[in-house]
Amino acid sequence: ILKIGDEDLYIQIARMTGEQGKLLPLVCELGICDTKPPLLFWQGIAATDWGHWWSLWALRFPTVLYTAATAFLVGLLATKLAADRRKGWLAALLFTGAASTFQYGRPFLTNQPETFWLFLPVVLLLAFGELSWPVVVMCGVSLGIGALYKSFVLVIPVAAAFALIQWRRRGWDLVATLRRDTGRLAAMAGIGLALFALWFLFDPYPGRILHQFVLGENVGKLSRGNYLKDLVTGHYNAITVIWLGDLVNFGTLAPALAGLVGVTLLDRWRRSAARGSDGKFLPKREEVGDYQGSTPVVDPKAPLTAAERDLWCYVLGFLIIYTIPHQRQENYILPTVAALAVLMALRWERIPGWLLRISGVLATVMVGGLAWLMLGLPAAVPDVSYAPWQLGALAILLLLAISSVAGRDAGIRWRLPAAVAGTWFALGLALAPFDGPFLPAPGSPGLAAIRDRTILFPSTFLMRHERFRFDVPGSQVAPYDPRDSAATDSLVRQGRLMALTIPLDGAPPAGHRTYAQRLDLRTRIPGNDVRQIILDRRFDLLVRRLVIIEGPDVLTP
């Protein structure tokens, strides 16, 4: 039941584009919809076999595979850099446990595909050791695929990150970097942009892409409002959304990430303080764990290895570039979550234990709160129930979370990543009862009685009604805005076939037939209701009932 803004619109574009029998142009109920590049929609068409297996599972499963593939890359890179398979598993778990994996890892509209293709170039660079021409070509192709999922703009932060990496490798010699690397960086970016340009080449309406997507969706984000003021204040300010955005992306692991940054900066300060008059570190220490070595072992107490510095440059490149647009969001920097998971695993022993315990406490509070909900909800809402295996699984996850707080530091360091990843399984268990189908109302034949008819569904965002097509197979779906109470009341008086949200203990409008119903979890709850839910255990306030009703043939105005 996870919901992300435009997902319904994107699902509609995939469905209607597939129904037209050709891959371009992208279309929706509004007509031609060049809101994003085509690869995500083509993925949806391919995963559902041109709509023959039309289900949320089929649409979302490729994104789950991308999440797993990115975790595999994270684990593979950490294993190579540390020469320790346990570090690989640790890094993969840290990536999986990050809040962004759950938030952006399952719906059809997510950032996991481009996260994979934007993280792959730095993995290739570190694996091969240098920016050779074969690496340039492979990275360029990877960037092009990522751009075809989201935007041509994605080429810029990776190119900037690679420029920083090469500049660092050249000893911060700008002239040498420009002379030796400009051509390769330009070629890498050019290959990515050339692949993206294929969209313009094959789409029958390239002018609309330029106007709607390039100018509207991308360039428009550079020219809104007071830039200097919004840089540090407002909803999209760069400080909290970009430079501190990965704390949000990591969720309960945010204290551990803060510890990694603190340890790294402290080590850097100590090394700077040890500089002698000749500008060299005293005592002189060679970098270890270089990716070009045969045994790239990372000593947690040693200075940053060359590979770690490259990963930090990769992260910094994203932060710098995404500071530029006026509109900024934490999901823009999701590829840095993968890089930071590797860095965190390599320095895991250096992160203070008390910060890890804070992460463990947060995970315990989260799972404990879900346990409190799962035990109290069935009593308040009789239609909600949990199977014994679900309660048993939750108990195991709660014990795992508690074990990430209590015990020795050495044990906590290995239990915490699994406990944090387990919080998302716990959340899935708690929300499972709200993912059920429409059930026949008492005395009604259910959805079979209204098959092939058009049903009005509440829609408060772009094409939000599209989601209900999965719930009423064989019927057509149309929207209405439930926030317009006068229009909604008019539809009810007309006796229209429609889905209506009513209180849990409420009744459908008098004189109407009820065909089917289901529980509907509220997403925007007033503060007073929140207080009652927490203080008075009014779990019934979390839920509404969605009923499909129809009035009699003739109603008095």
pLDDT surpasses 90 at 491: yes
Nearest to 252 by CA among 67, 71, 430, 422: 422
pLDDT tops 70 at residue 300: no
Kindly state the average pLDDT of the residues 293-304.
60
- Reported as a single tens digit per residue, the pLDDT across 214-249 is 887 777 776 666 777 778 777 778 888 899 999 999
Q: Report the distance separating Cα 273 and Cα 256, nearest Å.
A: 26
Is the pLDDT at 514 greater than 70, yes or no?
yes
- Position 301 confidence tier, pLDDT thresholds 50, 70, 90: low
Tell me the pLDDT band of 101, cut-offs 50, 70 and 90: confident
Q: Compute the distance between CA of residue 265 and CA of residue 409 in angstroms, rounded to an integer.
A: 23
- With beta carbons less than 8 A apart as the criterion, state whether 8 and 465 touch: yes
pLDDT band at residue 291 under the 50/70/90 scheme? very low
**pLDDT at position 304:** 86
DSSP assigned state of 98: S
Question: Which of 238, 243, 246 is closest to 100 using CA atoms?
Answer: 246
**What's the pLDDT tens digit per position in 392-406?**
999 999 999 999 998
297 — pLDDT class (breaks 50, 70, 90): low
Give the residue with greater pLDDT, 174 vs 554: 174
What integer is the mean pLDDT of 63-86? 95
Give the residue from 69, 78, 179 showing the smallest Cα distance to 118: 69
Q: Which two tokens stand for residue 276?
A: 């002698």
Q: Sorting pLDDT into bands at 50, 70 and 90, what band is 482?
A: very high
With a CB cutoff of 8 Å and minimum separation 6, the contacts of 388 are none
Q: Is the pLDDT of residue 20 over 90?
A: yes
For residues 446-472, give the mean pLDDT: 90
At 30-54, the pLDDT tens digits run: 889 877 899 999 999 999 999 999 9
DSSP letters, 374-439, are HHHHHHH-TT----HHHHHHHHHHHHHHHHTTSS-HHHHHHHHHHHHHHHHHHHHHHHGGGGPPPE
**What pLDDT shows up at residue 408?**
83
pLDDT of residue 223: 63
Residue 178 has pLDDT above 90, yes or no: yes
- Cα dihedral 129, 130, 134, 138 sign: positive
pLDDT of 288 > 50? The answer is: no
Q: How many CB atoms lie within 10 A of CB 375?
A: 13
Q: Which of 165, 248, 96, 69 is nearest to 157 (CA)?
A: 165
- Tell me what pLDDT residue 225 has: 64
User: Which pLDDT band, with edges at 50, 70 and 90, does 525 fall under?
Assistant: confident
- Using CA atoms, how far residue 23 sits from 41, 175, 192, 193, in Å, is 9, 46, 21, 20
Q: Contact, 125 vs 313, CB < 8 A?
A: no
The alpha carbons of the chain give a radius of gyration, in whole angstroms, of 26
| CB contact set of 118 (below 8 Å; sequence gap of 6+) | 142, 143, 146, 154, 157, 158, 335
One-letter amino acid for residue 196 of the chain: F
Q: Of all helices (H) and strands (E), which one includes residue 490?
A: helix 485-493
Average pLDDT, the chain: 88
pLDDT digit string (tens) for 362-400?
999 999 999 999 999 998 888 899 999 999 999 999 999
Is the predicted pLDDT of residue 556 greater than 50, yes or no?
A: no
Contact 120, 188 (CB under 8 A): no
Query: In 327-352, where does DSSP find H-type helix?
Result: 334-346
* Burial status of residue 204 (CB atoms within 10 A of its CB: 0-12, 13-18, 19 or more): exposed
